[in-house]
Structure 1
Amino acid sequence: MSFRDESDDGKDIRKPFLHTGSWYRMGSRQSSMMGSSQVIRESSISVVACVMIVALGPIQFGFTSGYSSPTQAAITEDLGLTVSESLMIAAIPNIIGWLAISFARDVSFLYMGRLLEGFGVGIISYTVPVYIAEIAPQNLRGALGAVNQLAVTIGIMLAYLLGLFVEWRILAVLGILPCTILIPGLFFVPESPRWLAKMGMTEEFETSLQVLRGFDTDISIEVNEIKRSVASTSRRTTIRFGELKQRRYWLPLMIGIGLLALQQFSGINGVLFYSSTIFAAAGVTSSNAATFGVGAIQVIATGVSTWLMDKAGRRLLLIISSSGMTFSLLIVAVSFFLRGFVSDDSNFYGVMSIMAVVGVVLMVIFFSLGIGPIPWLIMSEILPVNIKGLAGSVATLGNWLTAWVITMTANLLLDWSSAGTFTIYMVLCAFTLAFVVVWVPETKGRTLEEIQRSFR
């Protein structure tokens, strides 16, 4: 979000540079101009519509992530890249970036394109889950929050699917589409009520919340709850470094950074970015088709997680997810280890190859059930309002830094030892399980204000 400063009677007021969603002001005050007072009658319709628009960002995110797997071999061959150059391009993660890739004549275009995409994706990966958490009603926050990761998996699956039929330059052009739809869509999305309240824009805050909850909904209780929360944290907009020692700050910050870092240390990006290579090593003939199958399974599993989020709870799903991933990675590691003791044409070698593929698929399923969608959701729920910007940026930086480490080292580790690589990932998943059991609280069924008060 961009801002401009306006001075009114000597007071500086920060306002949105783009008044996105300004259409709703007319609808809330003079609904007859838009047809009738039934423009948004159900309390969830407006929120779901907003989530669907901003979810185009994570689709772009997923498309960017999935692009490497079906195109890596073709790009390397066409441009004569070395293995290390290819690794760097895949490791550094929208429109200019994709065009740079599409019209690439040498490696410099790929670096520029991936850097530009990475800048955009970095913003999307933090902004979208926070926005969804702040606009969603309490009873739908888990399901709608999981839409962020669902959109990412859809983007990955689309990259895998289209990669089967089009060459890599055309695939890069197709990557432009989500953002070209997202940009005009943002003009129909209201600003976050909590952000407006924090900025002191009381009238805009109440109007935005009324639209999101429906024109016939009584929002007085939620308005007062948000006002009380903002009043308790807005006396000073910044905090001193020493204040981070307070439990209300260091604990949610540690949980947010820890979960997002451990999400990547599970090795999921190493598996997704190089899934074609992994399946080829496992003896699968059509590795790209198998990769698309994994992408489709990931979408289904994330959809199930979306449905379960507000029923089973975040903490339970995280425990099931990390436990399942640890077991799945054990299967893959053992399979690759045992294959090293038999000949390539033996029946046992074939059985171990099948086990390796099954283990990878199970890993993706369990990741999608919890470790994939929930860290972003919990991060957006637990961070206090007055440090959400800085703390969220630090947590996102930690996520992408660990993603870079995993992506940069994945191919090198697989060349060293497939069994050893998956053993390392298994140990990290086991550590994630311990972290969840000891530190991560349950946030289901609680307002954002209640969650933040629980850390005091």
Structure 2
Amino acid sequence: MAITDIENGDNKSPEDLKEPFIVNTSRNVNSSQETDQNGTIKMALLSTAVAVCGSTEFGACVGFSAPTQLAICQDLNLSVAEFSLFGSIITIGAMIGAVTSGRIADTIGRKGSMALSAVICIAGWLAIFMAMGSVLLDTGRFFTGYGIGIFTFVVPVYIAEISPKELRGGLTTLNQFMIVTGSSISFLLGTVVSWRTLAITTGLAPCILLIAGLFFIPESPRWLAKVGRKVEFENSLRKLRGEKANITVEAKEIQETILTLQSLPKARLLDLFEPQYIKPVIISVGLMICQQSGGINGIGFYASETFIFAGLKSGKSGTIAYALIQIPITIVGMVLLDKSGRRVLLLVSSFGTCLGCFITGTAFFFKGQGILLEWVPFLAVSGVLLFIAFFSVGMGAIPWLIMSEIFPLHIKGAAGSLVCIVNWLGAWVVSYSFNFLINWSPAGTFWLFAGFGVLNIIFVAKLVPETKGKSLEEIQASL
């Protein structure tokens, strides 16, 4: 996933928005000016709660295919190839949505973009609900993909732009947390309701809540300042900080930052191949390949079918366990991020995902050889759960964070474009090919992912720097 630069429309990663503005100024603001605000964070919290409905929608979309595969294939008589296209076409829509999202958000605003994305997702879910064949089913899946592609940009951007600086990091991490939550909800409900009911409930509910909530929250003050709507900018900032808050200093900083960003040169993709950017490009692109080559989108999209292959009667128990483990482990990863460091977590995450795939592959090997058959379901489910636990703790979010830290401000937009293409293309390759691979050889498929896991460990150990506790300028200078 990638998102677009807040101020100039170029692409950058979601975690970049934890520190979206770097302002060099000789003016010192004393602590009493910063703390004596008499403000409130209630509106900022409400606005964040509304925005992360889009994150929940994202999770609901990507989690839809896993618990519904068998039922959809039976009801609509889909072949393996047809369901693979349905499962993976969401990544094509998301790629297009992510690439175009910056221009959309700059044209109609952050609230307008979220509303548009919600409407597109609603249209997609209705198409899926009414589908009687693969054409309408795939069309709906593509539309939901395009909608969440916009959400991947606009949700973290909006949260970063409306948050008080001391809360920005914490509120922005809610985006990733709610994506996982939405995915888990789809997994859980998909085990007890039909796929059409899942589409019309889990799919539509976050969008409806989002659209309703948009009537009660302000537009991003930074976007309003950028487009020259000064009165609305001040009203929005005052609403977010409280009627009694002193917004003079923050308003001035925002306006100065916008002028600074607008004065920077606009980078192109070709600029990334200049000598000073080669190493950051290799690290960023390499981490995205590591993230996708481990098999996350194949394992996640088709978890239920994997459990059935392993010998479980319905796959529901494994799917429920998969859903329940994601949320607490994601919280653990959020807590450890600034304590243990990025590089350490990536190494641990890569080792754990490799081990999980190896165990699952071994379980399928035992099944193929007719040995230890009573252990096969347990080993397969344990391996998949181990994989998703270790993926959630590091490899899921950290590649985006490191990407946002290692590029200078003016080049991050072009870097985000490249990383977005690599990431979503990898997601499509894995999600489309997974069903074919597992039908060819379940053991071979997971051992292949385990082999990529070994390469990921080597890549992180050799090339990825530790960025914990360093300023962005220090990180970039070291590269």
Corresponding residue number in structure 2 for 1:108: 135
Distance in 2 (alpha carbons) for counterparts of 1:102 and 1:355: 35
Q: Does 1:74 align with 2:71?
A: yes
Residue in structure 1 matching 2:435, options 395, 407, 411: 411
Q: 1:247 to 1:182 in 2, by over 3 A?
A: farther
Corresponding residue number in structure 2 for 1:85: 82
Q: Does 1:298 align with 2:326?
A: yes
Q: Does 1:312 align with 2:336?
A: no
Distance in 2 (alpha carbons) for counterparts of 1:219 and 1:249: 38
Distance in 1 (alpha carbons) for counterparts of 2:283 and 2:160: 17
Residue 206 of structure 1 deviates from its aligned partner by 7.8
- Structure 2 counterpart SS, 1:41: coil
Distance in 1 (alpha carbons) for counterparts of 2:351 and 2:408: 30
Structure 1 counterpart of 2:210, one-letter code: L
Q: 1:432 to 1:198 in 2, by over 3 A?
A: farther
Distance in 2 (alpha carbons) for counterparts of 1:224 and 1:181: 34
Corresponding residue number in structure 1 for 2:455: 431
Q: Which runs of 5+ in 2 are unaligned?
A: 1-7, 10-36, 91-120
Distance in 2 (alpha carbons) for counterparts of 1:170 and 1:453: 49
Q: Does 1:157 align with 2:154?
A: no
Residue in structure 2 matching 1:127, options 138, 154, 173: 154
Distance in 2 (alpha carbons) for counterparts of 1:203 and 1:451: 38
Q: 1:130 to 1:182 in 2, by over 3 A?
A: same
Residue in structure 1 matching 2:313, options 274, 285, 290: 285
- Structure 2 counterpart SS, 1:234: helix
Distance in 2 (alpha carbons) for counterparts of 1:230 and 1:332: 51
Q: 1:382 to 1:231 in 2, by over 3 A?
A: farther
Residue 148 of structure 1 deviates from its aligned partner by 2.1
Q: Does 1:421 align with 2:445?
A: yes
Corresponding residue number in structure 1 for 2:32: none
| Cα deviation 1:78-129 (Å, max 9, x = unaligned) | 1122221111011100000000010112221111101111111122224334
Corresponding residue number in structure 2 for 1:263: 291
| Cα deviation 1:27-54 (Å, max 9, x = unaligned) | xxxxxxxxxx86x435xx5554443322
Residue in structure 1 matching 2:56, options 54, 59, 64: 59
- Structure 1 counterpart SS, 2:457: helix
**Do the aligned residues in 2 keep the contact of 1:57 with 1:124 (CA within 8 Å)?**
yes
Q: 1:367 to 1:414 in 2, by over 3 A?
A: same
Corresponding residue number in structure 2 for 1:10: none
- Structure 2 counterpart SS, 1:176: helix
| Cα deviation 1:55-77 (Å, max 9, x = unaligned) | 21121111111111121111111
Distance in 2 (alpha carbons) for counterparts of 1:172 and 1:201: 39
Q: 1:288 to 1:440 in 2, by over 3 A?
A: same
Distance in 2 (alpha carbons) for counterparts of 1:132 and 1:437: 33
Percent identical pairs in the alignment equals 42
User: TM (normalized to structure 2)?
Assistant: 0.75
Corresponding residue number in structure 1 for 2:300: 272
Corresponding residue number in structure 1 for 2:113: none
User: TM (normalized to structure 1)?
Assistant: 0.78
Residue 340 of structure 1 deviates from its aligned partner by 2.5
Q: 1:255 to 1:383 in 2, by over 3 A?
A: same
Task: Determine which structure has greater relative contact order: mean sequence separation of CA pairs < 8 Å that are 6+ residues apart, divided by chain length.
Answer: 2
Range that drifts further, 213-222 or 126-135: 213-222
Corresponding residue number in structure 1 for 2:373: 349
Structure 2 counterpart of 1:111, one-letter code: D
- Structure 2 counterpart SS, 1:69: helix
Corresponding residue number in structure 2 for 1:401: 425
Aligned residues: 414
| Cα deviation 1:387-438 (Å, max 9, x = unaligned) | 4444324322322211111011111111111111111111222222333334
**Do the aligned residues in 2 keep the contact of 1:335 with 1:352 (CA within 8 Å)?**
yes
**Do the aligned residues in 1 keep the contact of 2:272 with 2:415 (CA within 8 Å)?**
no
Q: 1:263 to 1:226 in 2, by over 3 A?
A: farther
Structure 2 counterpart of 1:69, one-letter code: A
Corresponding residue number in structure 1 for 2:12: none
Corresponding residue number in structure 2 for 1:176: 204
- Structure 1 counterpart SS, 2:347: helix
Residue in structure 2 matching 1:358, options 378, 382, 397: 382
- Structure 1 counterpart SS, 2:263: coil
Corresponding residue number in structure 2 for 1:99: 126
Distance in 1 (alpha carbons) for counterparts of 2:461 and 2:254: 30
Structure 1 counterpart of 2:430, one-letter code: I
Corresponding residue number in structure 2 for 1:117: 144
Q: 1:428 to 1:99 in 2, by over 3 A?
A: same
**Do the aligned residues in 1 keep the contact of 2:272 with 2:414 (CA within 8 Å)?**
no
**Do the aligned residues in 2 keep the contact of 1:60 with 1:179 (CA within 8 Å)?**
yes
Q: 1:227 to 1:256 in 2, by over 3 A?
A: farther
Structure 2 counterpart of 1:274, one-letter code: Y
Residue 319 of structure 1 deviates from its aligned partner by 2.1
Residue 236 of structure 1 deviates from its aligned partner by 4.4
Residue in structure 2 matching 1:392, options 409, 416, 421: 416
Range that drifts further, 197-206 or 75-84: 197-206
**Do the aligned residues in 1 keep the contact of 2:80 with 2:436 (CA within 8 Å)?**
no
Q: 1:324 to 1:196 in 2, by over 3 A?
A: farther
Distance in 2 (alpha carbons) for counterparts of 1:215 and 1:314: 39
Range that drifts further, 180-189 or 274-283: 180-189
Q: Does 1:148 align with 2:175?
A: yes
